Amino acid sequence: MDNNELNLLREFSPQLSTKSRLVKGWLLFLLFAFMLGLFGLYMQIIHGHAITGMRDYVVWGVYIVNFIFFMGLSYAGALISGTLHLMKTEWRKPIMRMAEILTVVSLMIGPLFIILCIGRLDRLYFLVLHGRIQSPITWDVIAISTDLIGCLLYLYLSFIPDFARLRDFKELDVKSWRKKMYSVLSLGYQDTPEYNKILNRSKNVMAAIIIAIAIIVYSVLAWIFSVTLQPGWHSTIFGPYFVIAAVYSGTGLLIIIMWIYRKIYHLEAYITKSHFVKIGVLLLILAAFFGYFTFSEYLTKWYGSESNDAVLIDKLFEEYFWMFIISNYAGVIIPLVVIGFPKLRTINSITFAAFVSVVALWYNRYLIVVPTLESPYLPIQDSRAEYLYYAPTWVELFTSIGGVALFCLFFTLASKFVPIIEVSGNAPKKLETKTASQS
C-alpha cells in the first residue's frame, strides 16, 4: 500500500465505521418506509389484488411502471462504468463505484415489483418448472438473472482490491466480524502485478459482457410490450427506445447520487464540477436521443392517424396532458437547455436537470403502460364503469414507497460496507492534472 492509498483509507474508513445519530435515524426511517411496503404486500395477499387499482383492462399498473423504471436505472452502471472502464477513462475512478452499486441494487429492486404484480406468488417457481421458451417473459427471466449475476460479479471484482486494502489496514475501527469478512472476501488478493493482471483481464471481460447483456435485457423488456398487438405498444422502435430511455434515467440518477454523496461525505476534492459536466454532457446527448425517439414514436402515430392510434394520441393529449408535458417535453427540454448552455452549468443546475430526467422517465413509463391498456382495439364496453380507467390505490403507493426505501437502504448499507470511492489503484487528487494513472 502506498502513501496515497493509506491517506485515502484514513479519510474514508470513518465513513465505514461511523454510527452517528443521523445515519441511525436515516436507516430507521428507511426501515419504517420498507415496513409500509411490507404492510401493503400483506394487505394485498390477504385481500387479493382487488385492493389494487388494476382491473380487467388495465391489468398492469404502477407495479410494471416501477419495474421498468428500476430496470432502467440499473443501466447506468452497466453502460457508464462498463464503457468508461473499457475506454480506460482517467476521470472515471471517483464515480465508478456509485454507478456499479446503483446497477446491482436497482437490478435487485426491479424484479420485486413483478412479484407484486403476479396473481399467484405461490406459483412463481412454475416459471422454471413449466417454463416455455416461446414466451417473452421466459426470455426476461433468463436475461434478468444473467444480468444480475454478471453485474454482481463485475461489482465484486472491483471490490476485491478494496477488500484487501481494508483487510491490511490496521487502523480500521470496525467490529471483528467485518474485518474477518473483508479478509475472506478479498480472496487472498495481493497488490502484485500478477494479481492485477488477472483482475484487470477479468474486469475487461465482465465489462464487455455486462454492456451486451444490459442491452439485451432492456430490449427483451421492450419486446414484452411490442410483441403484443396493442396499438400503443406494437412498435418496432420499442427496443432501442427503451434502451436509450433506460440509460437516460440511470445517468440521471447517477448524477443525483454523486451530488448527495459529495455533500454528505464532503467529497468535493474528488467529485468535481468537471465530473458533473462530463456526465452531464452524456445526459444531454441521451436527452436528445430520448426526445428524438419519443418524437418519432408519436409523430408516426399521429400523422398516420389510424383510428386506434388516434384514440390513444387523443387520450395522451387530453386526459394525460400534464403527465405528457412533464415526461416528454420537460424531460427533454430542461436537460437540453440547462446543460446545453455552458453558462447555465453548475453542479446544482446539472443535478436539477438530472432530477427532472428521472421524474420524467417514470412518467414516460406510466404513459406507455396505462393509457395503452385503457384504449384497446375494441373500445371498452359492457363492463363495469370503474373498469374504464386506472388509478393506483394506497396499496400500490405503499408498496412503491417500500421499494424505493429498500433501494435507498441497500445503497446506504453498501456504502457503509465499502468506501464509496475506490481506494485501490486510485490517485484522485492528481486526477485533475491528468498526469498519473497508476498508483
Partner 1 sequence: MAKKKDKTSRREFFNSSISLGATALFLSNFTSSCTDPKEPGEKVKVLGQNGELLEVDKSELHYCKPATPEESRQGIPNRKFVMVIDLSRCRNARICVEKCQEAHHLLPGQEFIRVYLMQRSEKSTPYWFPKPCFHCNNPLCASVCPVGATYKRSDGIVLVDNERCIGCKFCMTGCPYNARIFMWEKLEVENEKDIEYSPETSIPAREGTVAKCDFCPDLLRNKKLPHCVAACPMGAIYFGDINEDSVTNGEETVGFTELIKNYDGYRHLENLGTDPSVYYLPATGRLFPFERGLEDKDEELMKRYENSPYFKNKNNG
Give the interface segment with partner 1, choosing from 95-103, 120-128, 246-254, 398-406 (CB under 8 A). Answer: 120-128
One-letter amino acid at 63 equals Y
Q: Does 236 bind partner 1 (CB under 8 A)?
A: no
What mask, x for binding partner 1 by CB under 8 A, covers residues 278 to 297? Answer: --------------------
42 contact partners, CB below 8 Å, separation of at least 6: none
> What distance in Å separates the CA atoms of residue 155 and residue 162, rounded to the nearest whole number?
11
Give the interface segment with partner 1, choosing from 43-51, 80-88, 188-196, 261-269 (CB under 8 A). Answer: 43-51
DSSP 116-159: HH-S-GGGTTHHHHS--TTSHHHHHHHHHHHHHHHHHHHHHHHH
The residue written with cell numbers 420499442 in the block is 238
Give the angle subtended at the CA of 347 by the CAs of 406 and 18, to the nearest 5°: 45
Whole-angstrom CA distances from 250 to 60, 147, 220, 242, 334 are 23, 16, 18, 12, 17
Q: With CB under 8 A as the rule, give the number of residues binding partner 1.
A: 47
402 contact partners, CB below 8 Å, separation of at least 6: 33, 34, 35, 36, 37, 38, 40, 41
Closer Cβ to partner 1, 384 or 434, answer by number: 384
Residue selected from 50, 187, 205, 299 as contacting partner 1 according to rule CB under 8 A: 50
Contact 5, 164 (CB under 8 A): no
Give the interface segment with partner 1, choosing from 99-107, 166-174, 292-300, 379-387 (CB under 8 A). Answer: 379-387
Q: Does 14 bind partner 1 (CB under 8 A)?
A: no
| DSSP-based three-state secondary structure for 269 | coil
User: What's the chain's Rg over C-alpha atoms?
Assistant: 23
Closer Cβ to partner 1, 160 or 316, answer by number: 316
Question: Between residue 124 and residue 143, which ones bind partner 1 under the rule CB under 8 A?
Answer: 124, 126-127, 129-132, 134-138, 141
Residues 240/246/248/250 CA torsion (nearest 10 deg): -150
Closer Cβ to partner 1, 191 or 314, answer by number: 314
Closer Cβ to partner 1, 57 or 302, answer by number: 57
Residue selected from 382, 434, 435, 438 as contacting partner 1 according to rule CB under 8 A: 382
Q: Does 391 bind partner 1 (CB under 8 A)?
A: no
Residue selected from 14, 25, 48, 188 as contacting partner 1 according to rule CB under 8 A: 48
By the criterion CB under 8 A, which residues form the site for partner 1? 47-50, 54-57, 59-60, 117-120, 123-124, 126-127, 129-132, 134-138, 141, 224-225, 227-230, 233, 373, 376-385, 388
